[in-house]
Amino acid sequence: MTLQYALLNDTSWQNQAQWQTPDTPFMSFAFWQILTDTGAIGEQAGWLPIFILVHRVADYADSANSVTDSAADTALQPVAVMPVFIKGHHRGEFVFDHSWAEAYARYGIDYYPRLVTSVPYTPITGQRFWLAAGEHLNDDILKTAIAGVDDVAQQVGASSWHGLFVTPELASIATTSMPTEIDIELAIAAQESGVESTPIEMPILERQGCQFLWQNKNLSQDSQPFADFDGFLATLRAKKRKTIRAERRKVAEQGISCQRKCGNDITDEDWQAFYHCYVMTYAIRGQKPYLTLDFFMALADRLPEHIMLAQAMDVDGEIIASSLFLYDKADSDKADNNATLYGRYWGALGEYDSLHFELCYYQGLEFAIEQGLKSFDPGTQGEHKLVRGFIPTTTHSLHRIYDPRFVPAIGDFCARDREHMAQYRQQAFEALPFNADNMPDFDINH
């Protein structure tokens, strides 16, 4: 059996196989259809999708024998699909390569278009392949998909490919099974002579970042999940416990109360109020929001079982801030049952002391504990998460540069960046607020 790829610009492939349940709601077919239906992805949004279908082809012993149409159909077995976007901008990515674009511009070379594999507007680590039932990600699947990426890059004249917030598994497969460096002189000579490079000649470069994730396990009690929020606070040093309790009191002292709603309990009025708050987050920066009210209403309609909305009300009961979360069901069929809460969208109608911490973190922590979720990913950036018990965790991205003249400098940048991020994670780890009995072990590779 051999693997081949096909380039598709629609989702007809979804009906060609039984597909595994993805590891996050953000890779569900429903979520991607919502992005499409509401214009969040597509040519107008600057996120033009191509789907690379990897399929298995049967090898016939006697090539002279004719194959009936029905046999030919069964000979092509879908294995995996990887999305790739053709982009002329960097918006909604959260892994920044602006300096690379500037370097290209200094030499009068266009960095655009570029290719991106990610979940748009979503800095969440997760699978970047849809896998058919019974399939497991391996180097053959990845190499075939990357050959498809190279094909797209050649067709559209892309400068590069970027796989963002990929799993550690995918990063490991990529960096162990594909070249991470090349003979630059030979590659440049081949480019200048017009000789086409083979698909694997350009290296895969890895960047690493840092996000802060909370784990629902009490290390002083055999890593059992917390019974309640106070149980979590008990694992922190006294000064940090006092700070968090003071922040929660400040919210109450401003006459603000909070509540949480899930799924179909969230009304149309709640969504209108949420969107008003969400838009304000962008308005204060003079920007337009990435997502429309229609997107969120579709989310409520098609994925209600994955939605939690935290709301803050003033003394008159008017909603003044909202924070929207998605989550895995604790009894989901994820392979490791590592059900997670994802903090995604927030906004407030004004400035309120400590309200962001309450609505985006403490309400999320309480919900994760109540639901028995294993972890809480509150979103990208923010060292303020660190002192509230969110553990520094490595993120991975993969990059393929098609002009060999830029590979040495960008490769060096990635190597230095990985070293810097490892040092940063260790320093951040040392600042965690846990007491001695609950301090997790530092793993430089995690």
Cβ–Cβ < 8 Å for 35, 295: yes
Across the range 277-282, mean pLDDT stands at: 95
**Backbone phi, then psi, for 374, in 5-degree steps?**
-80, -30
Say if residue 202 is exposed, middle or buried (CB neighbours under 10 Å; 0-12, 13-18, 19+): buried
Under the banding of pLDDT at 50, 70 and 90, the label for residue 188 is: low
**Backbone phi, then psi, for 345, in 5-degree steps?**
-135, 140
Q: Tokens 């569900």 correspond to what residue? A: 28
- pLDDT of residue 434 exceeding 80, the answer is yes
* Whole-number Å distance between alpha carbons of 438 and 391: 12
54-112, pLDDT tens digit by residue? 999 876 544 433 333 444 444 689 999 999 999 999 999 999 999 999 999 999 999 99
Query: Per DSSP, what are the bridge partners of residue 80?
Result: 54, 131
Q: What pLDDT sits at residue 267?
A: 98
Strands (E), 319-435: 319-327, 340-348, 375-377, 391-401
Helix axis angle for 184-193 and 407-430, nearest 10°, is 140
Q: What pLDDT sits at residue 206?
A: 97
Nearest alpha carbon to residue 132 among 14, 11, 7: 14
Tokens at residue 417, please? 């960046």
Q: Provide the terminal-to-terminal Cα distance of the chain, rounded to the nearest Å.
A: 35
Residue 297: half-sphere exposure toward Cβ, Cα within 13 Å:
9
* pTM of the model as a whole: 0.92
Measured on CA atoms in the order 122, 127, 128, 133, is the torsion positive or negative? negative
Indicate the range of 104-118, 184-198, 206-220, 396-410 predicted with least confidence: 184-198
* Whole-number Å distance between alpha carbons of 393 and 242: 25
Query: Per DSSP, what are the bridge partners of residue 395?
Result: 209
Identity of the amino acid at 424: Y
Q: Tokens 């609505």 correspond to what residue? A: 359
18-57, pLDDT tens digit by residue? 999 999 999 999 999 999 999 999 999 999 999 999 999 8
372-388, pLDDT tens digit by residue? 999 999 988 778 899 99
283-334, pLDDT tens digit by residue? 988 999 999 999 999 999 999 999 999 999 999 999 999 999 999 987 655 5
Q: What pLDDT sits at residue 65?
A: 38
Task: Verify cis geometry, omega within 30 degrees of 0, for the bond prior to 113.
Answer: yes
- pLDDT of residue 113 exceeding 90, the answer is yes
